[in-house]
Amino acid sequence: MDKLRMLGGIPLKGEVVIAGAKNAALPILCACLLTDQSITLRNVPELQDVRTMLKLLQEIGVTVEYPDVNDRTHLILNAANIKSSEATYEMVKTMRASILVLGPLLTRMHSAKVSLPGGCAIGARPVDQHIKGLKAMGATIKIKSGYIQAETKPPLNRLLGASIVTDMITVTGTENLLMAATLASGTTVLENAAREPEVSDLAELLVKMGAKITGIGSDRLVIEGVESLHSAEHSVIPDRIEAGTFLCAVAAAGGEITLKHCRPDTLDAVIVKLKEAGLIVETGSDWIKATMQSRPKAVSFRTSEYPAFPTDMQAQLMAVNAIASGSASITETIFENRFMHVQELNRLGADIAIEGNTAIAQGVEKLSGAIVMATDLRASASLVIAGLAAQGETQVDRIYHLDRGYDRMEQKLTLLGANIQRVK
Ligand SMILES: CC(=O)N[C@H]1[C@@H](OP(=O)(O)OP(=O)(O)OC[C@H]2O[C@@H](n3ccc(=O)[nH]c3=O)[C@H](O)[C@@H]2O)O[C@H](CO)[C@@H](O)[C@@H]1O
Ligand SMILES: C=C(OP(=O)(O)O)C(=O)O
């Protein structure tokens, strides 16, 4: 199992190019299942989750081509010959986002069988809202032997437009129901829809494919179903979480970095907090320059749905708070168990206590390097940030979690002057 080893205390300096967003790329790859024509994608990040999704789509019968041998971010997908409508447990257990094939397969192929994702390190993460929404659209759904078995009803054998209000805001739930609704008979209204930029990016692609969607970017999506969708080209939006992670890295380790090919407008809540912590931030339409000349100041925050502070940035900003002056309270409102990094940050010398869904971080002057273990994707990123700020050597074990969602993070950090290596 790969590990990352780093020597902390070196300020970061230089430029880094931000990749396409994992959480936009995954639903967008699944959208190719909605048509028998080719979908051309650019800026697809080179990540383990993307490789897993492509493997799943290929098992279903999708062909994947790379028109430029030197560019793995440019793909052409074609789902003209679907041979199976199944996502197996083997696939779903390594990547929960596999659930995103359910809506597209059901609406185009009239049946789908997808393994129920289990709980994961950050929470139970049920998919009841996905199922409830598809049932409201007339699907027959049975849970059998750990699988969701979904079918459309004869004689029409099509999903039917419906008014759906989800009990809570769900990102992949909105995406699944949005994709399902594009080919349904009649109009679907999705209330309480997630407003994350990744949902909007998927919706933009669907519109290019011929879908009729209004309300993009709002919490009320209206989808008028069409008979079929067609080919389209799309470039995946830049990853706001990767960008935010590098901003936290410079806030913790000090220095001056410029992020290229990013979307500052999707990072407002994160930038506000980092400015409060002392980071000097300048932005253009697709770049961010960030300078940190002092020890960070502690900043309290609570996670919530977009446009509020994202749960996927909670662990990284907590690592900044670990070495800040003062104390901060960090409340996690989205996932019930997303504090696994606290124990490991404390092994590096942090002073963080958990009280229910709030962590109280009492900033310490210095962290000291140690061997720590990554427990989930963003927890891994927070340990790397802490390791870059710590004195001495830190080793982060089990970085397969990190590789799910970051494209060669250690290479990008090396370009910024960090002393970091992957150890096989
Ligand atoms: C691939 C992807 O895009 N992953 C993101 C997506 O995950 P994901 O889409 O899985 O997260 P959701 O937005 O669905 O989850 C939000 C909350 O709703 C609950 N819930 C959700 C659906 C459901 O049917 N029932 C239910 O109870 C979840 O357990 C959680 O407590 O949004 C999360 C919240 O921004 C991010 O952390 C993940 O990075
Ligand atoms: C929790 C995350 O991803 P996933 O939903 O794929 O587990 C994440 O990207 O931080």
Give the distance (Å) from ligand 2 centre to CA of residue 132. Answer: 22
Q: From its phi and psi, is residue 54 left (phi > 0), alpha (psi between -120 and 50) or beta?
A: alpha
ipTM: 0.99
Q: How many CB atoms lie within 10 A of CB 365?
A: 8
Q: Give the pLDDT score at 119.
A: 76
Q: Average pLDDT for residues 18-42, to the nearest whole number?
A: 98
Q: And the tokens for 41? A: 């994608």
Neighbouring residues of 51: CB distance < 8 A, sequence distance ≥ 6 = none
The answer to whether 18 and 242 have CB atoms below 8 angstroms apart is yes
Give mean pLDDT, residues 22-27. Answer: 98
**% of the chain surpassing 70 pLDDT:** 100
Q: What is the mean pLDDT of residues 261-284?
A: 98
> Can 3-19+238-423 and 22-235 be said to share one CATH topology?
yes
How remote is the CA of residue 170 from the centroid of ligand 1, in Å? 5
237 annotated as belonging to a binding site for a ligand: no
**Domain ranges (residues) in the chain:** 3-19+238-423, 22-235
Confidence of residue 120 (pLDDT cuts 50, 70, 90): confident
CATH superfamily of the 22-235 domain: Enolpyruvate transferase domain (3.65.10.10)
Average pLDDT over residues 344-356: 98
From the number of C-beta atoms within 10 Å of its C-beta (0-12, 13-18, 19+), residue 293 rates as exposed
Confidence of residue 117 (pLDDT cuts 50, 70, 90): very high
Tens digit of pLDDT for each residue in 90-109? 999 999 999 999 999 999 99
**For 169-180, what is each residue's pLDDT tens digit?**
999 999 999 999
- For residue 128, give both structure tokens: 């009841």
CATH class of 3-19+238-423: alpha beta
pLDDT value at residue 198: 99
User: Pairing mode, if any, of strands 327-331 and 301-302?
Assistant: parallel
One-letter amino acid for residue 74 of the chain:
H
Residues labelled as active-site residues: 120
* Residues 317-330, mean pLDDT to the nearest whole number: 98
For residue 199, the CA-to-ligand 1 centroid distance in Å is 12
- Measured between alpha carbons, how far is 296 from 174 in angstroms, rounded to an integer? 37
pLDDT score recorded for residue 86: 96
Nearest ligand to the C-alpha atom of residue 378: 2
The response to whether residue 173 sits with its C-beta less than 6 Å from ligand 1 reads yes
User: Over the chain, what is the mean pLDDT?
Assistant: 97
Residue 158 pLDDT greater than 80, yes or no: yes
Q: Which of 114, 143, 172, 401 most suits a substitution to test ligand 1, by most atoms within 8 Å of the C-beta?
A: 172
Ligand index nearest the alpha carbon of residue 120: 2
Is residue 118's pLDDT more than 80? Answer: no
pLDDT at 295: 98
- The tokens for 320 are 């900044």
pLDDT in tens, 201-256: 999 999 999 999 999 999 999 999 999 999 999 999 999 999 999 999 999 999 99
pLDDT > 90? residue 275:
yes
Which class for 356: exposed (0-12), middle (13-18), buried (19 or more C-beta within 10 A)? exposed
What does the alpha-carbon distance between residue 49 and residue 68 come to, in Å, rounded to a whole number?
21
Each as own residue / partner, the long-range contacts of residues 289-293 (CB below 8 Å, 24 or more positions apart, any chain) are: 289/256, 289/257, 289/258, 289/259, 290/246, 290/247, 290/250, 290/251, 290/256, 290/257, 290/258, 290/259, 291/250, 291/255, 291/256, 292/11, 292/250, 292/251, 292/253, 292/254, 292/255, 292/256, 293/254
User: Does 168 contact ligand 1 (Cβ within 6 A)?
Assistant: yes
Closest ligand 2 atom, residue 120 Cα: 7
Cα-to-centroid distance, 154 and ligand 1 (Å): 32
- What is the per-residue pLDDT across 53-71, written as a single tens digit (0 to 9) for each? 999 999 999 999 999 999 9
pLDDT of residue 168: 98
